[in-house]
Chain A
Amino acid sequence: MSGADASMVGDGTEESEQSEQSDENAERTDGEGDEHVDGEGEESSTTERRIRREIETGRWEGIRGVALALIGVGVVTRRPALVLLGAVGVGYALYVGIGEAPAATLNVSRTVSDGTPEPGDEVTVTVRAHNVGDAPLVDLRLVDGVPPGLEVIDGPARVATALRPGAAVAFEYAVRASRGEHEWEAATAITRNPSGSRERTTAVDPSDPARIVCTPELSAGGDLPLRGLTTRYHGRMPTNAGGSGVEFHATREYRRGDPLKRIDWNRRARTGELATVELREERAATVVLLIDARESAYAAPEPAAETAVEECVGAAGQAFRALLGGGDRVGIAALSPVDCWLAPGAGTAHAARGRETLATDPALAPTPSGEPFYRSLWFRRFRRRLPADAQVLFFTPLVDAAAASIARRIDAHGHLVTVLSPDITADGTPGERLVALERRERLRELRSAGIRAVEWGEESFPVAVARATSRWSR
């Protein structure tokens, strides 16, 4: 829905509230989309309300003092006008004392235009709040509980209005869908008494909070370089073992039983000896994509930019698809307080599971889980699960020393590690430059310890991999 349409809907509703038959008009507003019919039904369902706090706002504080002072001055100077002005002040003082902040007797329903959007899609959210109480809400501010991982791109998810008993308000906003599973939180309703001297904050939670699940298509990655640790299965990874394959490896003496077509006939003609050509054997590898999703990895060069976790998950998706397409067995794990493990496998079903894991696993959520992370516990569990012949592609922004040390520990246990690191450092403040320097130093140390490392920043992940691959020997 375009912005112009949205504003039209908004205005229509506001006008409708001003007329007596708000329900009828609200229906006319809802005529815009079919999904609203469901919304009407949901409105009768229960909405949970929890009072968060009640406070005195301190508005009109001192009005009684002012009134008395005016009366006093009026009496002393014998000016009746001032005494009367003080009397009006007394009137306001009485007005301020009237009424508690009303309870937010709201039924809230929420509809999203698309429950399973693609990343980057605009999802329109319609919120309807219906005053089901007997008292009017003269001052109501409603703030919708947008999931932390979503960005509101059109209109604030908020409204301020006044609702008669039975009246309803509807408002729309749009969010940009991002990877993951997002469930809306309770909306916050702030009500005040007419003078605004008392305020009550209530959490309003519809029994059916809206949710969207956004599962990105895994984009195709280029050829991914793996290290020389392979399984005994045939695949596409060239090894240093001779056997059958396509690439020349070595020649050796002829042994009985060697296939005729592998005999080096040129040599036979030249020297009269029989020799057999060995080809480089190609085998499949088992790869575990390890994604750093500790709280520290939720870092970004600027507040609006994508976090390193998003970058890593995107790159891991490309690697997953490329490796699976090449016949390797691929698994997924997260370096995160929340457990996440997809055992290495192959096949179409495994590809779907991998896509699902990368998109919606809670360990890879767009915002950190906030639970504590115990490194040694995690490492023990990871080691137990990791197949002996698996190598690890470790996606990490390397913003702290722990990531580098984990890479070294995994490598030391015989699982060859390739570190793939998105560069999320900025170079504005001295602090940012220091972090960038430390990260470069960590990369350098990893490389000197014999661990392959690729970093990508401005250039895309496949480009960086292709560039790095040309430097590496097998």
Chain B
Amino acid sequence: MTAAEVGEGEEERERDAGPPTLAVVTSLVAAGIASLAALLAAPLGGALLAVATVGFVAGSVGRSYRALSWAAGIGLVGLVVAGYRGGGVESLLVGGVALAVAWDVADHGLSVGEQVGRDARTRRNVAVHAGTTLLAGGLSAGVVYGVYLAAAGSQPVAVLALLLFGAVVLASVLR
């Protein structure tokens, strides 16, 4: 990671490279919301997301990007299970955005911790990052939900899926 280069400073010995507390707490809260939303949709999904929450905390404390990725994967499976069990659209969307924020903030916290450290001033940075991620998720969920409400019943699922496939291709081209 980038911190390896930056972290060669003299103060490296004493620096606590753990993630900032705000990042850990935000991630925990977001994961909790995701668990609650999935629990409302289906108990099994909620249970899987609770496991993911534990994973996020463990990944933050143990400073492991891999643990965070695994936790996000488990959370995703939990959401799929909740959706398959017939969970409501609203709770699933809330759960999805909350899971994304939980993973993103935890991951961001790890990199900030590595490069800047736990004791430095990082609140603003973490808050802005969490805010933009929440905004991006909220916007896309809002648009998706609006389209869903407007087109519900009249459009078959397959057409919607094709549209989304087009959007994915667009996203790939943009990159």
State the Cβ distance, B102 to closest chain A Cβ, in Å.
Answer: 13
State the Cβ distance, A161 to closest chain B Cβ, in Å.
Answer: 5
A190 & B115 in contact (Cβ 8 Å cutoff) = yes
State the Cβ distance, B163 to closest chain A Cβ, in Å.
Answer: 9
Residue from B125, B139, B164 within 8 A of A160 (CB atoms): B125
A91 & B119 in contact (Cβ 8 Å cutoff) = no
- By a CB distance below 8 angstroms, the chain A residues around B96 are 85, 88-89
Kindly state the separation between the CA atoms of A148 and B12 in the bound complex, as whole angstroms: 11
Chain B binding site: helix, strand, loop or mixed by DSSP?
A: helix
Kindly state the separation between the CA atoms of A59 and B108 in the bound complex, as whole angstroms: 9
State the Cβ distance, A169 to closest chain B Cβ, in Å.
Answer: 8
Total number of residue pairs linking A and B with CB closer than 8 Å: 204
B171 & A160 in contact (Cβ 8 Å cutoff) = no
B11 & A156 in contact (Cβ 8 Å cutoff) = yes
- By a CB distance below 8 angstroms, the chain A residues around B107 are 59, 196
Kindly state the separation between the CA atoms of A157 and B108 in the bound complex, as whole angstroms: 20
- By a CB distance below 8 angstroms, the chain A residues around B137 are 88, 91-92
Contact with B along A128-166 (1 / 0, CB 8 A): 000000000011110100111111100111111110000
Kindly state the separation between the CA atoms of A18 and B127 in the bound complex, as whole angstroms: 12
A196 & B129 in contact (Cβ 8 Å cutoff) = yes
The reply on A71 being an interface residue by CB < 8 A is yes
Kindly state the separation between the CA atoms of A265 and B125 in the bound complex, as whole angstroms: 94
The reply on A303 being an interface residue by CB < 8 A is yes
Q: List B109-152 residues whose CB lies under 8 Å from chain A.
A: 111-112, 115-117, 119-126, 128-129, 132-133, 136-137, 139-141, 143-145, 148, 152
The reply on A263 being an interface residue by CB < 8 A is no
B141 & A88 in contact (Cβ 8 Å cutoff) = yes
Residue from B84, B112, B132 within 8 A of A141 (CB atoms): B112
Kindly state the separation between the CA atoms of A350 and B102 in the bound complex, as whole angstroms: 67
B124 & A14 in contact (Cβ 8 Å cutoff) = yes
Residue from A17, A143, A146, A157 within 8 A of B124 (CB atoms): A17
The reply on A392 being an interface residue by CB < 8 A is no
**Segment of B24-32, B51-59, B85-93 in the binding face:** B85-93
State the Cβ distance, B129 to closest chain A Cβ, in Å.
Answer: 6
The reply on A352 being an interface residue by CB < 8 A is no
The reply on A436 being an interface residue by CB < 8 A is no
A75-B161, A171-B121 given; A94·B171 CB < 8 A? yes
Kindly state the separation between the CA atoms of A148 and B171 in the bound complex, as whole angstroms: 45
The reply on A246 being an interface residue by CB < 8 A is no
Residue from B116, B158, B160 within 8 A of A143 (CB atoms): B116
- By a CB distance below 8 angstroms, the chain A residues around B141 are 88, 91
Kindly state the separation between the CA atoms of A85 and B119 in the bound complex, as whole angstroms: 37
State the Cβ distance, A355 to closest chain B Cβ, in Å.
Answer: 26
Q: Which residue of A lies closest to B155 (CB)?
A: A80
Q: List A160-219 residues whose CB lies under 8 Å from chain B.
A: 160-162, 171, 188, 190, 194-196, 199, 201
Residue numbers of A with Cβ under 8 A of B are 10, 14, 17-18, 55, 57, 59-60, 64, 66-68, 70-75, 77-98, 138-141, 143, 146-152, 155-162, 171, 188, 190, 194-196, 199, 201, 303-304
Which 10 pairs of residues, A with B, have the shortest CB-CB distance?
Answer: A91-B140, A152-B11, A160-B125, A162-B128, A95-B136, A82-B83, A160-B122, A93-B171, A87-B144, A97-B174
Please, could you name 20 A-B residue pairs with CB atoms under 8 Å apart, sorted by A?
Answer: A64-B172, A75-B157, A81-B93, A84-B144, A84-B148, A88-B100, A88-B140, A88-B141, A91-B136, A91-B141, A94-B170, A94-B171, A159-B121, A160-B121, A160-B126, A161-B125, A190-B2, A194-B136, A195-B133, A201-B2
Q: A71-B165, A139-B128, A160-B120 are in contact. List 14 more A-B contacts (CB 8 A).
A: A60-B104, A64-B171, A64-B172, A82-B92, A83-B157, A84-B89, A87-B160, A90-B164, A90-B168, A140-B125, A156-B119, A157-B9, A196-B111, A303-B13
